[in-house]
Amino acid sequence: MKRAVADATDGVIVPPPAAVTVMPVIIALSFCHMLNDMMQSMISALYPMFKKDFALDYTQIGLIALTFQLTAALLQPAVGMMTDRKPMPFSLAVGMGSTLIGLLMLSVAHSYQLILVSAALVGLGSAVFHPESSRVARAASGGRYGMAQSVFQVGGNAGSAIGPLLASLVVLVRGQSSVAWFSAAALVGMLVLTRVGFWYRTNMPNTPLRARAKGAGGVVLSRQRVIFAIVILAALTFSKNVYTASLGSYLHFYLMDRFDIGLPEAQMHLFVFSAAVAAGTLLGGSLTDRVGRKATMWISILGVLPFTLALPYANLLMTDVLLVIIGLLMASAFPAIMVYAQELVPGRVGMIAGIFFGFAFGLGGVGAAGMGWIADRTSIGFVYGIASFLPAIGLLTALLPDLATGGRAHSIGGDKK
């Protein structure tokens, strides 16, 4: 066998996982993920209000988005690397505190510069939350890593759907100052995450296990193979998130253009897709634990290809049917990708979570912008025609090494005794 990637994980503290699944902790993290992503998604929903009230141009709106995404996405791997070296049980509550301050500042911001600072603080809170909460969810999983990641992730899906709705019902009606009301959600999140921090500190003592670069089945991989596998996972994430972004951002425009329906009806079809995505995230966790990581990726990403290819040619009824199938299958990939990546580099749970959550978030924004650029120069129907081929990238799954033969993984600290 080739030499293990021991130098990539030496000195990293890997707390032993809980002996049994601690569902209250996982549910608490999922709830706080909902609050975090709800507040995070409100930022983009407020762009029209900022543009009007502060007389901003599209470039200035883009800079708000860039400031938020740079802090929310690019800082996540750095935060994950820090907490891999030195776990910080209460950093989750501190991160939520940054979001609270950002929302309060946003509610009273009287200048463009203050809006940028507020957006950066909300993004910083998100950057701290995702990698460390993913680590705690894994620690509380009792070995059911796919289930833990999917329950944690479905909270974020719910929050992303709720945020724009609340922004339109409350903030866009009552004005900028009402943003402060949502700081109460951040305060609730801080209280819940403080309790989670006490659990983590008590049950995951600093008696470190030295991480070994072994797959779940004891397969030892070279540094080159680990890096290659991470690149493949990044490509799979690209195909999934860019296609999902094309649906989330432009589906209502496509339906209105193709079937000549109104915006309220189009939004109901978008809700059908969002509900399927939430259900698919939970399905992915169960599949990951039962049939394995690679099998779930095959089913989720490549398996969805026939349905994405059929979508541009379907009538309205079949469009809903296909949206449900696509949402279920495509969303189920993320828990498998995350668990597989964390098993590739077992001593870097936080860093891997930061990379993939940040990468997924960034790709969604880049994908939505790219699809919009193409639609402006062609048509929205053309966008869905070319996007339907993206899941074919799932063929790259064949190049991933086999890490386990069964569904449930071994301890992240190495082989079971």
pLDDT score for 324: 92
Span 198-235, pLDDT tens digits: 998 887 654 444 444 444 444 567 788 888 988 898 88
Residue holding tokens 């897709």?
273
d(CA 364, CA 369): 9
Q: Is the dihedral of CA 245, 246, 250, 254 positive or negative?
A: negative
Local structure of residue 417 (DSSP, 8 states): -
Long-range contacts of 55-60 (CB under 8 A, 24+ apart): 56/112, 60/112
Long-range contacts formed by 51-59: CB under 8 A, 24+ apart: 53/176, 54/111, 54/112, 54/115, 56/112
In this prediction, residue 325 carries a pLDDT of 93
Q: 12 is written with which tokens?
A: 């990293």
Residue, of 179 and 371, whose pLDDT is higher: 179
Note the pLDDT tens digit of each residue in 301-315: 888 999 999 999 999
Q: Which of 9-23, 32-46, 92-106, 270-284 has the highest mean pLDDT?
A: 92-106
Nearest to 284, CA basis, from 150, 89, 155, 187: 150
* Cβ(341)–Cβ(352) below 8 Å: yes
pLDDT bracket for residue 408 (50, 70, 90): very low
Rounded Cα distance, 96 and 91, in Å: 9
Q: Of the ranges 37-51, 111-125, 195-209, 327-341, which is most confident?
A: 111-125
CB burial class (10 A; 0-12, 13-18, 19+) of residue 206? exposed
The closest alpha carbon to 206, from 411, 405, 5, 11, belongs to 11
pLDDT of residue 292: 80
Beta carbons within 8 Å of 337's beta carbon, 6+ residues apart: 233, 236, 237, 293, 297, 356
For residue 353, the Cα-to-chain-centroid distance in whole angstroms is 9
Report the predicted TM-score, pTM, of the whole model to 2 decimal places.
0.68
| Structural domains of the chain, ranges and CATH numbers in brackets | 17-206 (1.20.1250.20), 223-399 (1.20.1250.20)
Give the pLDDT of residue 364.
63
Structure tokens at 154: 């479905």
| pLDDT recorded at residue 17 | 53
Tokens for 100, please give them.
Answer: 């609270």
- Structure confidence by residue, pLDDT tens digits, 384-404: 888 889 889 888 888 888 775
Helix 316-331, helix 333-344: angle, nearest 10: 20
The fraction of the chain above a pLDDT of 70, given in percent, is: 84
Q: Residue with structure tokens 């195909």?
A: 239
Give me the residue label for tokens 């993913």. 134
Give me the mean pLDDT over the 149-169 stretch: 81
What is the residue-averaged pLDDT of the chain?
79
**Dihedral, CA of residue 29, residue 34, residue 39 and residue 45, to nearest 10:** 150
User: The tokens of 378 are what?
Assistant: 């062609």
Does the structure show a pLDDT above 70 at 243?
yes
> Residue 332: what residue type?
S
Interhelix angle 23-45/58-69, rounded to 10 degrees, is 160
Which helix (H) or strand (E) segment is 14 a member of? strand 13-14
Asked if 126 contacts 223 with a C-beta cutoff of 8 angstroms, the reply is: no
